[in-house]
Amino acid sequence: MLLSMDAENVEEKEKEEEILNKQSPEELQAEAEKLKNAANEFFKNADYVKAIELYSQAIEKWPRLAAYYGNRSFAYIKTEMFGLALTDATMALQLDRSYIKAYYRRASANMALGKFKLALKDFEAVVKVKPSDKDARAKFNECGKIVKRIAFEKAIAVEEKPVSETIDLESLTIEGDYSGPVLEDGKVTLKFVQDLLDTFRDQKKLHSRFAFQILLQIKDLFKNQPSLVDIDVPKGQKFTICGDIHGQYYDLLNIFKLNGLPSVDNPYLFNGDFVDRGSFSVECIFVLFSFKLLYPDSFYMARGNHESATMNQMYGFEGEVKSKYPFYFSKSSKMADLFTEIFNLLPLCHCINNKILLMHGGLFRDENVTLDDLRKVDRNRQPPETGAMCELLWSDPQMMCGTSDSKRGVGTMFGPDVTKKFLQKNKLDYIVRSHEVKQEGYEVIHDGKCITVFSAPNYCDQMGNKGAFINITGDDLTPKFTSFEAVPHPNVKPMAYANPLFGLF
């Protein structure tokens, strides 16, 4: 192993020397600086992919400057490539231990992955170098509070009942002036859902009693579903597949406008990441849950990597729930914790007509995984950092063959050969996954066998991408794509409810 690493180091040095022999150091540095400045402009305009490309070119020209790695690390964070962001931040610190921004970048990436103890170490390093820096001290203290809170919650978790067993619906009185949607005999009806769509569109709230009733009912429904749900789409029937929504409620309404409301004759599947980042996540999730209760056999929801406690704490959903239902966030009745219970029960994947497998993330490092293995996954927990459940939620495709460590720092990168073997082994036609922003809202790779669909246009109000959904029919499983632009929404910025510490990066 050491010999291999030494050989790699020698090869890198030889490449550097070869470059230096062609141009003077001054020329290389000047060209690298031009590339970095151009990358900065693309970064400012939220074109992070182009910025990464130019930062990479600057690094090729002059790989000895910590700031280039630090800048690219920040761009990787913006595109949720947290694994690559960690690598770049660490490289920057190897080149310059005093480069403070690299500690922040690494802390930010670790926090995004829920590794708060590692983030705390980097904040501590900054405080030691700059003890009088109030901003650094504030971040250190805030991150320390998160670490302590997690430790405390872990210590008392065994002693507490599930939140779902502590809710007293009778105590949630409906005020006389409430004019919003009403459950009929405690049940979701089509009229209730139509009223709910209008209520949320007008930025009004669903009464907490009905909100809790929906959550308790949906928990019981998901509890009785398997980890892999088989779906039968009859001949001639249209079926719609949507990707990430991420709290973009007004774009969700636009999908229904373009493609029709869900119904028995117009079934849908939403492929994870319903919440976080967008600041209308509460509205999105209650609408989706209501449709699931109304049409349990014609409306499907798969868990995404953002249907987890850590992601919700960082990216806004927990904060949004607390803000919109503040009175009920108490020791005895925590709506955010009830959402966590429900998210733990969401199915992990779906299989349509025994031919299409759908999951939020992707495939597996272990080439022997079968559909039967997925049916047996114990999903009622927070996502683990390895294994099939983790990979279903976090993995991404790559163009080269084989598997490799994830650019996100969690999950697996899988190549076209991995996709082909998995499909052959399980007698499937293709896979559909989400999890990644695509410029047209979708992407088809791996010889047409791996499809990505992403349904949050102009993601976070800055990516400029289209959203998309897929239509198939029971007798024609050929995917048909519809791309759509973002629509206007009320003046509430994305990440408005996110952890304030995360917003400081």
Residues 6 or more apart whose CB falls under 8 angstroms from that of 59 comprise 32, 68, 69, 72
Cα(446)–Cα(352) distance, integer angstroms:
20
Buried b (16+ CB within 10 A) or exposed e, 349-382: bbbbbeebbbbbbbbbbeeebebeebeebebeee
Q: Which two three-digit tokens encode residue 441?
A: 């809202």
Is residue 243 a contact partner of residue 468, using CB atoms and an 8 Å limit? yes
Cα(475)–Cα(235) distance, integer angstroms:
5
Is residue 393 a contact partner of residue 305, using CB atoms and an 8 Å limit? yes
Cα(464)–Cα(33) distance, integer angstroms:
27
Residues annotated as catalytic (active site), given as ranges = 306
Is residue 76 a contact partner of residue 92, using CB atoms and an 8 Å limit? no
238-242, strands of its sheet edge to edge:
299-301, 268-270, 238-242, 467-473, 476-484
Is residue 32 a contact partner of residue 20, using CB atoms and an 8 Å limit? no
Secondary structure, 3-state, 228-271: EEEECCCCCCEEEEECECCCCHHHHHHHHHHHCCCECCECEEEC
- Residue 178 exposed, middle or buried by CB count within 10 Å (0-12, 13-18, 19+): middle
Residues 6 or more apart whose CB falls under 8 angstroms from that of 428 comprise 351, 354, 355, 356, 357, 422
**CA-angle at 284, arms to 146 and 396, nearest 5°:** 70
Percentage helix, strand, coil, to 5, in the chain? 50, 15, 35
Q: Which two three-digit tokens encode residue 33?
A: 């600086």
The residue assigned the tokens 């109304």 is 294
Q: Of 317, 292, 291, give the one whose Cα is nearest residue 306.
A: 317
Four-CA torsion 316, 318, 321, 323, nearest 10 degrees: -70
Cα(266)–Cα(294) distance, integer angstroms:
13
Residue 443 burial (CB count, 10 A): 17
3-state secondary structure of 301: strand
Residues 6 or more apart whose CB falls under 8 angstroms from that of 396 comprise 361, 362, 406, 407, 408, 411, 413, 414, 435, 436
Residue 181 burial (CB count, 10 A): 23
